[in-house]
Amino acid sequence: MKIITIVLGIIIFFCSCNHPVTESTENKSENADTSNTGITYSTGNLITNIPGRKTMSLDGTWQYIMDPYETGFYDYRYKELNENNPSAYWNADTTASKSDLIEFGYSNKYTLQVPGDWNHQDSKFLYYEGTVWYKKSFDFHPQKKGDKVFIYFGAVNYRADVYLNGKKLGMHVGGFTPFDFEISAGLLKEKNNDLVVKVDNKRHKDEVPTLNTDWWNYGGITRSVMLVEVPDIFIQDYFIHLENPAPGEAPSVENSPVTGWIKLNQKPDKEQTLTITLPELNIKKQIKTNAQLTQVDFTLPHVTLWSPAHPELYKVIISSNEDTTTDKIGFRTIQAYHKQVLLNGNPVFMRGISIHEEIPEVPRRAYSMKDAEQLLGEAKELDCNMVRLAHYPHDETMTRLADSLGILVWSEIPVYWTIDFKSKEVLRNAEAQLTDMITRDHNRASVIIWSVGNETPVSQVRTDFMHTLIDSAHALDNTRMASAALEVNYNADKKIHEINDPLGKYVDLVAFNEYLGWYGGLPDKCSTANWATPYNKPLFISETGAGAKYGFHADSLTRFSEEYQKWYYKEQIAMLKRMPDNFVGLSPWVLNDFRSPKRNNPTYQNGWNRKGLLDDKGHKKEAFYILQHYYKEMEALHPDK
Ligand code: GCB
């Protein structure tokens, strides 16, 4: 297994070396290295554990220019402007004489809050997709002279071109993953720095996601921005976890072996002493190393395993000669084993719900701990022990809070519906998003499933594409399950619907989106339907749901009535009770109504997907209580351990 991992790791490393998704004008360290054991690993190129670093926030009020024609980027012949051109919008500080013709400028008349999508901040942005330039001026006093400084973005949707004091720092594509650029010494001033970010959220056929999605394409600097200060040689990333137990076995709680690695930003020129301390467990492990990447192994004398019933997190302090970072990590194992999912060796039934990253009451993208508390609080009230964070990586506050609340997480990249599976470039883009998702969250005990996509149409080229992503997920992290939400074809003639998508061969958990009674006839279809898969693997329903407008009451045959949705859930639950013995849970669609420009029924939808169990004002629909009741029953049958 280890050999396979290493080989795949090398493959990914070579794939991602010339990756165009993040282009930095600075020299960043290589994103792989040979450790002191001679193993080549692949990890992303991100600084991780941002909450455990020295940072200066750049959140708050930014000035902006709305630029649908990209006048600030191209000249009138549509050629990219050169760096010093005073008409380029990144040259924010151009001082002009009174006769100069200047046709742009940043002003306090036009401001946006960061983090936050632009769509909800001014009515003129409600349906805007295009370019907006953001500018923030700031002073900077390093905490320590000689430190390196990076600029870190939690996420920008979709393409970000970043400039500091007129110099380009880099470009990044991908709307839901973090990225950082090093700022070279000398560029950052103590006073009056101008940071300009060109944000473009136009959709394109050959991007990830593609043109067509069932959610609103919120644009902007949607997550926090900060400066991160680190010493010259610093701890870039680490991955610390319990050793995988033998198939089907529980990890021991006495003397549990922990393994993983610590990655410095570069190969150090003098020997480093790496120290891992877990004060609550009296662990202090020291390793001397000359490598960029160092394997770590130690034993926990006695550990409370992380689980929904006991979401125990331990303080972990990692230091090198000059750097220290502190995290909170839970220790648990997760495995797909024959027909079951084993959490710490015990079969778990996942009482899940799918969630979009949206606060529907505004509506806007979610980004803060308060938002995470709202969304995960609603999931808890439904009696969930699991959430599917659809259809893209959510803000880090979600997985951090899930860690402390004991909620299992499915995390996904936006490989959604019909992206261009033939394109190598699109595959690289998807792989980079997968790598960054895994890199950011690989120390989160809550995350148990990396999903490589949703409802992708069956064809050989699609299966090859998705298989590559599954292999990459395994190579980057062999401690979790990899999966994808598969599509189902209702079989009108037979009473057994088979989930036989060829991708089922490669995933650890066979997950499918099942909507019998909403898309495949009326809910009473469920009374005779049965489900099966030819794969000897656990089976999970990643979606099922029906639309209802809160407060609209009619007989249960009337679409969009609360009665229809309630009937649908009742029929579904009766059907679930007949599921085969490899059925391990579900994450119905969806927690809240959410904005979707595809949903245009003028009476019930008006631009909203109405499959929420809560509506856009936070009201609970009747179906909420039906699912909650079922979950309480399931919890009594399969208590969280
Ligand atoms: C699906 C998609 C989800 C849609 C949902 C629907 O299968 O995965 O993104 O929003 O169906 O409401 O149709």
Query: CB under 8 Å to 3, separation ≥6 — which residues?
Result: none
**SS3 (DSSP) at 632:** helix
Same domain membership, residue 393 and residue 324: no
Name the residue at shortest CA distance from atom 3 of ligand 1. Answer: 214
Do the domain assignments include residue 364? yes
**Domain with 212 in it: what CATH number?**
2.60.120.260
Same domain membership, residue 369 and residue 265: no
pLDDT of residue 361: 98
> What would the pLDDT profile of 481-538 be if each residue is shown by its tens digit?
999 999 987 877 777 899 999 999 999 999 999 999 999 899 999 999 999 999 999 9
Tell me the C-alpha to C-alpha distance, in Å, between residue 187 and each of 28, 62, 179, 623.
16, 20, 19, 57
Same domain membership, residue 226 and residue 238: no
312 within ligand 1 shell (Cβ under 6 A): no
Residue with tokens 């969630």: 355
Do the domain assignments include residue 398? yes
Same domain membership, residue 133 and residue 257: no
pLDDT of residue 324: 98
pLDDT of residue 27: 37
**Domain with 282 in it: what CATH number?**
2.60.40.10
455 within ligand 1 shell (Cβ under 6 A): yes
Do the domain assignments include residue 120? yes
HSE, side-chain direction, 13 A CA sphere, residue 230: 31
Q: What is the dihedral of CA 519, 522, 523, 528, to 10 degrees?
A: -100
Tokens of 479: 């401690």
Same domain membership, residue 560 and residue 440: yes
pLDDT of residue 587: 99
Out of 332, 356, 379, a domain closes at 332
Same domain membership, residue 223 and residue 250: no
Instruction: Count Cβ atoms below 10 Å from residue 499 Cβ, excluding itself.
Output: 21
Task: Point out which residues pair with 274 in neighbouring strands.
Answer: 287
Same domain membership, residue 238 and residue 139: no
> What would the pLDDT profile of 220-243 be if each residue is shown by its tens digit?
999 999 999 999 999 999 999 999
pLDDT of residue 92: 87
131 within ligand 1 shell (Cβ under 6 A): no
Do the domain assignments include residue 28? no
90 within ligand 1 shell (Cβ under 6 A): no
pLDDT of residue 94: 66
Task: Report the candidate in 582, 455, 581 with the shortest Cα–Cα distance to residue 519.
Answer: 455
**SS3 (DSSP) at 182:** strand
Same domain membership, residue 560 and residue 413: yes
Do the domain assignments include residue 513? yes
pLDDT of residue 40: 30
Query: CB under 8 Å to 532, separation ≥6 — which residues?
Result: 496, 497, 498, 499, 580
Same domain membership, residue 211 and residue 242: no
**Domain with 595 in it: what CATH number?**
3.20.20.80
Instruction: Count Cβ atoms below 10 Å from residue 275 Cβ, excluding itself.
Output: 16
pLDDT of residue 14: 32
Out of 332, 360, 379, a domain closes at 332
Query: CB under 8 Å to 55, separation ≥6 — which residues?
Result: 152, 226, 227, 228, 229
Ligand 1 centroid to Cα of residue 214, in Å, is 6
Task: Report the candidate in 139, 206, 202, 196 with the shortest Cα–Cα distance to residue 169.
Answer: 196
Same domain membership, residue 354 and residue 470: yes
Do the domain assignments include residue 630? yes
Same domain membership, residue 592 and residue 576: yes
513 within ligand 1 shell (Cβ under 6 A): yes
Ligand 1 centroid to Cα of residue 154, in Å, is 26
Q: What is the dihedral of CA 379, 382, 386, 387, to 10 degrees?
A: -40
pLDDT of residue 44: 63
CA 22, CA 9: separation in Å to the nearest integer? 19
514 within ligand 1 shell (Cβ under 6 A): no
Do the domain assignments include residue 10? no
Same domain membership, residue 171 and residue 67: yes
Query: CB under 8 Å to 51, separation ≥6 — which residues?
Result: 396, 400
Q: Which domain holds residue 269?
A: 233-332
Flag residues of the chain having pLDDT under 50: 1-21, 26-43
Which DSSP symbol is given to 548?
A: B
Ligand 1 centroid to Cα of residue 374, in Å, is 22
609 within ligand 1 shell (Cβ under 6 A): yes
Out of 332, 358, 392, a domain closes at 332
Atom of ligand 1 nearest to the CA of 609: 12
Domain count within the chain: 3
Do the domain assignments include residue 12? no
